[in-house]
């Protein structure tokens, strides 16, 4: 079936609008209040679930993320772990507040030689990655990165964006270390890119948690700069 010129122009306009709304553009776009996203019910964890005598229990944290993945229908394929750049790791950033401040992740690829990086980020509901920036190191330039939400949703904070949604509560343990307060709500399928090199940013899991793919230039831990001086990572 042939498409008329008018129909073709309508399709092009629709595609452009989609790119602006869900891609890298920072124009007018739908927020989570107007975009339908899959809701997954997760346990309401407490910090006590992840600590024993004050020591962080990494295995319990991993199991919480694996449970979240199962509920979202996301297979991790642990049988292929030998192919990954790093094992499936978890952290509370040494802050003892994992339910509110922590993350899980896997570096699929991290190539200094070819300057590219692929990372999966796992966040429980309301769980925040400590605010940070990436600086150049002896091994490479400052890291540039983009994020694509695969499942769930996130609140992506940085120098650009909107006012945080009404009722959104950030972890009290991080209040005095948060310096960027603009926010984009991102749901499954949406992509965003850091607005500039060395910009401070952080991410927090939405009500159903989050599984996020990150595409970036080479990652060197020596280039990480956290605004919270108490972080141990």
Residue 179 falls inside a structural domain: yes
Q: How confident is the model at residue 54, as a pLDDT?
A: 95
In this structure, the answer to whether residues 13 and 99 fall within a common structural domain is no
Tell me which H or E stretch contains 186. strand 182-187
In this structure, the answer to whether residues 14 and 126 fall within a common structural domain is no
Residue 232 falls inside a structural domain: no
Residue 150 falls inside a structural domain: yes
Percentage above 70 pLDDT, the chain: 84
How many domains, the chain? Answer: 2
Residue 231 falls inside a structural domain: no
In this structure, the answer to whether residues 11 and 48 fall within a common structural domain is no
In this structure, the answer to whether residues 18 and 114 fall within a common structural domain is no
> How many angstroms separate the CA atoms of 22 and 94, rounded?
35
Place of tokens 């499942």: 151
DSSP 163: P
Residues of the chain predicted below pLDDT 50: 1-34
In this structure, the answer to whether residues 192 and 104 fall within a common structural domain is yes
Place of tokens 């307060």: 181
Enter the pTM of the model: 0.85
Q: How confident is the model at residue 36, as a pLDDT?
A: 61
In this structure, the answer to whether residues 3 and 69 fall within a common structural domain is no
Question: For residue 176, what are the contacts with CB-CB under 8 A and spacing of at least 6?
Answer: none
> How many angstroms separate the CA atoms of 180 and 159, rounded?
6
In this structure, the answer to whether residues 106 and 6 fall within a common structural domain is no
DSSP 55: E
Using CB atoms within 10 Å of the CB of residue 12, give its burial: 0 to 12 exposed, 13 to 18 middle, 19+ buried: exposed
In this structure, the answer to whether residues 54 and 90 fall within a common structural domain is yes
In this structure, the answer to whether residues 125 and 94 fall within a common structural domain is yes
Residue 156 falls inside a structural domain: yes
Tell me which H or E stretch contains 122. strand 116-123
Cβ atoms of residues 130 and 105 within 8 Å: no
Residue 7 falls inside a structural domain: yes
In this structure, the answer to whether residues 57 and 20 fall within a common structural domain is no
Cβ atoms of residues 105 and 58 within 8 Å: no
Q: How confident is the model at residue 233, as a pLDDT?
A: 85
For residue 224, give the 3-state DSSP assignment: strand
How far is CA 85 from each of CA 80, 88, 106, 216, rounded to the nearest angstrom? 11, 10, 8, 14
In this structure, the answer to whether residues 190 and 215 fall within a common structural domain is yes
Sign, Cα dihedral of 106, 225, 102, 196: negative
Residue 233 falls inside a structural domain: no
Range of the domain at 78: 31-226
In this structure, the answer to whether residues 56 and 17 fall within a common structural domain is no
Give 66-93 pLDDT, tens digit per residue.
Answer: 999 999 999 999 999 999 999 999 999 9
Question: Which two three-digit tokens encode residue 51?
Answer: 């600590």
Cβ atoms of residues 182 and 135 within 8 Å: no
């Amino acid at each position: 079936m042939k498409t008329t010129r008018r129909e073709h122009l309508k399709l092009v306009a629709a595609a452009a609008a989609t790119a602006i709304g869900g891609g890298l553009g920072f124009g007018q776009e739908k927020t989570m209040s107007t975009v339908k996203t899959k809701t997954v019910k997760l346990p309401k964890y407490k910090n006590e679930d992840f600590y024993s005598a004050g020591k962080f229990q990494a295995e319990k944290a991993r199991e919480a993320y694996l449970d979240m993945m199962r509920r979202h229908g996301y297979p991790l394929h642990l049988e292929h772990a030998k192919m990954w750049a790093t094992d499936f790791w978890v952290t509370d950033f040494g802050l003892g507040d994992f339910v509110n401040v922590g993350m899980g992740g896997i570096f699929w690829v991290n190539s200094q030689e070819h300057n590219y990086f692929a990372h999966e980020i796992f966040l429980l509901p309301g769980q925040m990655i400590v605010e940070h920036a990436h600086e150049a190191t002896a091994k490479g330039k400052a890291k540039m990165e983009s994020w694509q939400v695969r499942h769930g949703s996130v609140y992506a904070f940085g120098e650009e964006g909107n006012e945080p949604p009404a009722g959104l509560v950030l972890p009290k343990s991080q209040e005095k270390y948060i310096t960027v307060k603009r926010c984009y709500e991102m749901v499954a399928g949406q992509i965003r890119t850091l607005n500039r090199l060395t910009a401070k940013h952080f991410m927090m899991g939405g009500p159903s948690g989050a599984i996020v793919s990150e595409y970036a230039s080479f990652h060197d831990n020596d280039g990480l700069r956290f605004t919270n001086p108490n972080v141990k990572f």
